[in-house]
Structure 1
Amino acid sequence: MTRSGHAPILLARYLALAWCGLVVYGSLHPFSGWRDTGISPWAFLEGGWPRYWTVFDLLANVAVYVPLGFFLTLALHRLPWRFTAPILACLLSAGVSGGLEAIQTWLPSRVPSNLDLACNTLGGLLGALWAHAVGPRVFARITALEHRLIAPVPHAELGLTLLGLWLLVPLSPETLLFGAGDVRQIFGLTGAVPFAAESFMLIEASVTAFNLLAVGLIARQLCARASIAYAVVPLFILCALIVATLAAAILIAPAEALAWLTPGARLGLLVGGGGLAFAMLLPPTPRLMLAALSLMAGTVLVNLAPPNPYSIAALATWRQGHFLNFNGLTRLVATLWPFLTLPFLFLTARR
């Protein structure tokens, strides 16, 4: 199987869809307290200049929509007429922003604003113009990199997108290292295993090891050659650990930068890393099966884990800052990631 010329388009579509989902979640979090105020959802269009605003808010509203306009333009690149893609990308960005601002009318914790709509539209326009200017070069480089680095496996673009989303998992410093798939908060459940230091360390190590093994094997499956994989996979895992370190340092305290490196996490990294080095030598089908089993095992264990006292303290510290919505976003990605990745593994294994 060879890489298709449509691969960059597919990757851009996956990235546009993923970024749009993140924007929707960030705009409507916490998804609670819905109420009908009797105000038209489009009344914000006629509103005056907001009473409370900062330059940071304006720049953030522009910056968040730049990637959306960029990815949408690349995703629509093959449409006829050279300006069709950027125009549609700008209109779609404005439509997404306008729809979300209208929905915020029913959320008491959010304030719809025509200024936000204008900034979001500007961000989408800047992203569209950027993609229109560099699009051909971006496609040429992506195609060259995919031919050289990415294995010709089905749905490789989806796999790359999922790996990119996984880097958001370590951004939640109150969760177990690499712990993904915890659905207890959604359903109001508690851990089935009572807290004990020894058993908790074993569960933490197992969660870390299983997820490390699963993610490493997925990255290996997407690498064109073993020589590339043995360089890329360790670098990818190292990047995730750097993300965890920076998240703890910035969102909690600089002194807590390595708080994630608990005895359980160290044991999990050691066991998972050793298992990954051996498993990467296996043929593709056994690698996929082992990745799926490891992902399912890690998901089950993270839902059985007892509450972690450090996690509760870390979340309490985080809530004092300005990152509560961001925390909800990263937790959502961490919760859904295994359930989005398992179908990808099954689809890849079928081919």
Structure 2
Amino acid sequence: MPDFQRRSSPLAAWFAAAIGVLIVYACLHPFTGWRDTGLPVFDYLRQPWPRYYTLTDLTVNVLGIVPFSFALVAAMPSRLSRGGAVLAAILTTLMLSLSVETLQNFLPSRVPSNLDVGCNTLGGILGALAGGRWSGRLFDPRSGLTRWRKRRIVPGHVGEIGLVVLGLWLLTLLTPESLLFATGDLRRLFDLPTPLQFNPTRFVKVEAAIAASQLVAVGLTARCIMRDFTPWPIVLLVLLGLGAKTLASATFFAPGDPLHWATPGGQIGLGAGAALLGLCLLLPARSHAMLAGMALLVGTALVNLAPENPFLPSDAALIRQGNFLNFHGLTQLTASLWPFIAFAYLGLLGASSAREPHPPLRGR
């Protein structure tokens, strides 16, 4: 695509911003114990090659930044040429990496590394070059994705934010030790005690209710951003969610058990939630946002009341290692805050629909 035809994509900008915020949190998690060591803050850049590193850490540091710089190219102002957008994305990625690594000087649980900066920059270069080659086709108004978005998703920033919210929901399912579809657990953030003692029969019921209510909430949220109803995007979203949960179970459990989430309560909740969601989708479209909000409230309340699950022996030693700590902190934060983000988004969607002379939601 010639340079003069390059257009800035708001959807790419929202994705780049969301990824950037998550990267900052992951690299600075757990945000405790800040102190000044008295050493020069950029001294780590002059240090020799680190003695201890793993191929996994190097790979994660390279690949983890690629989506950010890829989306950033398409998000750059239209006045920049394609080459200028690629260069600006690379420089932005470098500055982001330098900033978070330098801030790690002040965290006792973090060790800044020039190798991490180098890997992040390499990932930024790869992502930006790929973005210069393909992001225009992906986010261009004539691309299949953009045409699908305009045809299926409500217009403007409201639709774009909705896609980001659903993308964050998929990220929450990569938290290995949580119950199926469970989000909104504030006990982790504030170190609160568990209010209920474990009881096998009660636990199965609570687990099933959590999975069912959260499935209804995310399914109806997805429906709210759709112009016309078709079940297949919702089915695909749920299948992607189950795939993410399976990946987390296979990666973090010792020994790996990809279907560890398929407990009796999880299976009951999945079936009941699918049935309830189907019934809710038969109701008028104007009721979906309200029902989604109610399901979010019920699911979040149950998550914070549920006792600890003694049958999820996640590999805590693995989670504490290097980039697994970054990733685990990122997914935990996203899982804790997602229902509140979704609830705020439903309010924004309702306010936007109220201003529309012809509401975008049509049919059932």
> How far apart, CA to CA, are the structure 1 residues paired with 2:60 and 2:228?
40
Note closer, same or farther for the CA distance 1:37–1:275 as it changes in structure 2 (3 Å cut). same
Out of 205, 216, 219, the residue aligned to residue 219 of structure 2 is 216
Q: Alpha-carbon deviation of 1:55? A: 4.1
Look up the SS of the partner of 1:167 in the other structure: helix
Is this contact kept in 2: 1:191–1:304, CA < 8 A?
Answer: yes
Q: Matches of residues 261-280 of structure 1 in structure 2 within 5 Å?
A: 261-280=262-281
Look up the SS of the partner of 2:231 in the other structure: helix
Look up the SS of the partner of 1:328 in the other structure: helix
Is this contact kept in 2: 1:66–1:123, CA < 8 A?
Answer: yes
Is this contact kept in 2: 1:248–1:254, CA < 8 A?
Answer: no
Out of 190, 205, 210, the residue aligned to residue 207 of structure 1 is 210
1:88 aligns with 2:88: yes
Unaligned runs of 5+ in 2: 1-5, 354-364
Q: Alpha-carbon deviation of 1:318? A: 5.2
Of 68-77 and 321-330, the range deviating more from structure 2: 321-330
Given residue 252 of structure 1, which amino acid in structure 2 is its aligned partner?
F
Is this contact kept in 2: 1:174–1:314, CA < 8 A?
Answer: yes
Aligned partner of 1:127 in structure 2 is 127
> How far apart, CA to CA, are the structure 1 residues paired with 2:146 and 2:10?
12
1:192 aligns with 2:181: no
Note closer, same or farther for the CA distance 1:153–1:11 as it changes in structure 2 (3 Å cut). closer
Given residue 69 of structure 2, which amino acid in structure 1 is its aligned partner?
G
Of 299-308 and 153-162, the range deviating more from structure 2: 153-162
Given residue 84 of structure 2, which amino acid in structure 1 is its aligned partner?
T
Is this contact kept in 1: 2:181–2:214, CA < 8 A?
Answer: yes
Is this contact kept in 2: 1:179–1:207, CA < 8 A?
Answer: yes
> How far apart, CA to CA, are the structure 1 residues paired with 2:8 and 2:234?
22
Note closer, same or farther for the CA distance 1:193–1:34 as it changes in structure 2 (3 Å cut). same
For residues 56-92 of structure 1, what are the alpha-carbon distances to aligned partners after superposition, in whole Å with 9 as ceiling and x for unaligned? 4333322222211111111114234443322221111
* Percentage of pairs with the same residue: 43
1:177 aligns with 2:180: yes
Q: Matches of residues 235-274 of structure 1 in structure 2 within 5 Å?
A: 235-253=236-254, 256-274=257-275
1:22 aligns with 2:22: yes
The alignment covers a number of residue pairs equal to 343
Note closer, same or farther for the CA distance 1:11–1:282 as it changes in structure 2 (3 Å cut). same
Out of 127, 144, 147, the residue aligned to residue 147 of structure 2 is 144
Aligned partner of 2:360 in structure 1 is none
Aligned partner of 2:43 in structure 1 is 43
Q: Matches of residues 158-173 of structure 1 in structure 2 within 5 Å?
A: 158-173=161-176
Given residue 197 of structure 2, which amino acid in structure 1 is its aligned partner?
P
Is this contact kept in 2: 1:171–1:243, CA < 8 A?
Answer: yes
Q: Alpha-carbon deviation of 1:277? A: 0.5
CA RMSD in angstroms comes to 2.3
> How far apart, CA to CA, are the structure 2 residues paired with 1:265 and 1:16?
33
> How far apart, CA to CA, are the structure 2 residues paired with 1:60 and 1:106?
23
Note closer, same or farther for the CA distance 1:53–1:191 as it changes in structure 2 (3 Å cut). closer
> How far apart, CA to CA, are the structure 1 residues paired with 2:255 and 2:52?
31
Note closer, same or farther for the CA distance 1:183–1:89 as it changes in structure 2 (3 Å cut). same
Note closer, same or farther for the CA distance 1:325–1:125 as it changes in structure 2 (3 Å cut). closer
Look up the SS of the partner of 1:242 in the other structure: helix
